[in-house]
Structure 1
Amino acid sequence: MRSLVGPVPEPAERVGSALRRCGRATLTIGSGNPAATVTLAHHAPGTPDLWLVIPMADAAAITAGGLHARLEVLDVILGGVADGRCRRVVVVEGRVELPGGHAQRHVATHIAVDLPDPSLLGVGGDLALVRLRADRIVLTDHDGVTDIEPDDLATSGPDPFADLEGHWLDHLNDPRCRIVPRIAMRVCRCLPAQRPLLVGIDRAGVDLEFTDRDDNTHRQRLPFAEACTEVAELGTQIRLLAGGPRYPLDRAALRP
């Protein structure tokens, strides 16, 4: 499994996080078929396989033995004023299979334990749960285009805060919150006219975006001093980036 070190999560982990969030995703099955909308993507632990929820009408095109398919996931920012902006693209090619109805519902109950999602309730009705056996995985982001070995995805996983990132971004990018401007002072001698934004939070650091006075947009990675595995640790590291104390001040405890 991945080690909690390094200023930036490894590519396979970034892929896992994008799949977990599944902001906007489509699955093209075979040739000549329209792309199906994917409402949920679940990485089967210990394998490079993905379980995808798609409309039953699109799944009907899958023949016995499976068909070649191409999954495209846009990892969009969730929360805050940058909501909906795409920051990375994940493409997975492989063979898609359609299990029987009973098997789909059985797998859906197990997935719901780890990733509860309303779309799982429709499996067996107007939605189908299909299995994509990954042969090729490509990640495109600010670091360029990276080929991911399926075995690397099998032994990795999403960022521990992938499910909560949108809530953190929504809160920290609120104009009433002064944390982001304080973090921005680490890379800007004077704050630009346009408020800086946090566009990414993970166990190893944050991604800051700001526009200079010449209207040029810059993105800066600010790593944490220590990698995080729990929400309390994440709050501590963000507080330290903003120049605050390691421990929050308990005003009530200071009263006589």
Structure 2
Amino acid sequence: MNETRRPPAPHPAERARTIAARGGRAALLPSDGTENRITPVLHHVHPHGDATIVLPDEHPLVESARAAEVTAMLELADQAPVQLREPVRGLLWITGWLRTLALDEAREAGLQVADVRPDPRLLDIGHGASVLRLTPASLVVADAEGTTSLRPELFAQAEPDPFAAFEDHWLRHLELSHRDVVGQLAQHLPDRLKGGHVRPLGLDRFGLRLRVEMADEDHDVRIAFSQSVSTAQELAGELRRLMGCPFLAQRR
């Protein structure tokens, strides 16, 4: 029985770490029986999966999580850097216990976040803004590669993709200034996907991802590198190779 070989892709924990590192749009969902989605003033996921969340002092959750830990889920949406009709390309859900930090803890937490992600909104801590800490019990990552549940220790052992920091800039540049390159890549799509609107969707150490927008639905396609890459020089070499005969597989 012949099966289509799936091209190599980042481990689910690595994909989760990458979504967390990119930040993305966040929504906090307390498990209090309501369906309210709370948009934090600021959020940051630390390497071990715990999250620092900033809310206005007057938000009801601040007081309820001060009296006792509450269970909650933080949802992070990984949005494509180019305009797509379905812009979310991945989701990360972190479920755990939420508590409001005392002022001294809150300021220390703010300094920890500022060390890796400076943000002027951190200056509001203690001046109209409170800090909550989400301690993870489980994580789930969902994208075109699949949906996987992760233990916090697996998340902590992984690293974000080495190209996560400049992926957005590179893909926007490809979309706006190098449509010819996208067109070359499109020549290698399966016949039934040819004719669709091909867009650059993602880049990681294992390959490129394209979004093919068809009239009826969208399809994500992974074009694999010949080997895992970690430097700009290695990436450039693989991109030149892909302009020849890429190995690809449809992902959905």
TM-score, normalising length from structure 1? 0.79
Return the letter of the residue paired with 1:231. Answer: A
Partner Cα distance (2:235, 2:79) in 1: 21
CA-atom RMSD, angstroms?
A: 2.8
Q: CA deviation at 1:8?
A: 0.7
CA offsets, 1:53-107, max 9 Å, x none?
A: 33333333312442111112222112x2328711122221110122222222222
**Structure 2: gaps spanning 5 or more residues:** 1-6, 246-252
Alpha-carbon distance in structure 2 between the residues aligned to 1:232 and 1:64: 53
2:32 partner letter:
S
Shift of 1:189: 6.2
- Other structure's SS at 1:36 match: coil
CA distance in 1, matches of 2:104, 2:240: 49
**Number of aligned pairs?**
236
**What's the % identity of the aligned pairs?**
30
1:39 Cα deviation after fit: 4.8
Correspondence for 1:138 among 131, 134, 140: 140
Shift of 1:232: 3.7
Moved more, 57-66 or 202-211: 57-66
What is the CA–CA distance in structure 1 between the aligned matches of 2:73 and 2:115, rounded to whole Å? 27
Residue of structure 2 equivalent to 1:14:
15
| Alignment pair present for 1:161 and 2:163 | yes
- Which residue does 2:55 correspond to in 1? 54
Alignment-mate amino acid for residue 226 of structure 2: A
Match in the other structure for 2:222: 221
Q: 1:126 aligns with which of 128, 131, 143?
A: 128
Aligned to 2:151: 149
Query: Deviations along 1:195-232, whole A, 9 cap, x unmatched?
Result: 411111112211112246x7553321112123232334
User: Which secondary structure state, in structure 2, belongs to the residue aligned with residue 60 of structure 1?
Assistant: helix
Contact 2:78 2:88 in 1 (8 A): yes
Structure 1 residue 184: deviation in Å? 2.2
Q: Please list, as runs of the form range in 1=range in 2, the aligned pairs for 1:98-137 lying within 5 A after superposition.
A: 98-137=100-139
1:183-202 matches, cutoff 5 A: 183-188=185-190, 192-202=194-204
Between the aligned partners of 1:181 and 1:224, the Cα distance in structure 2 is 18
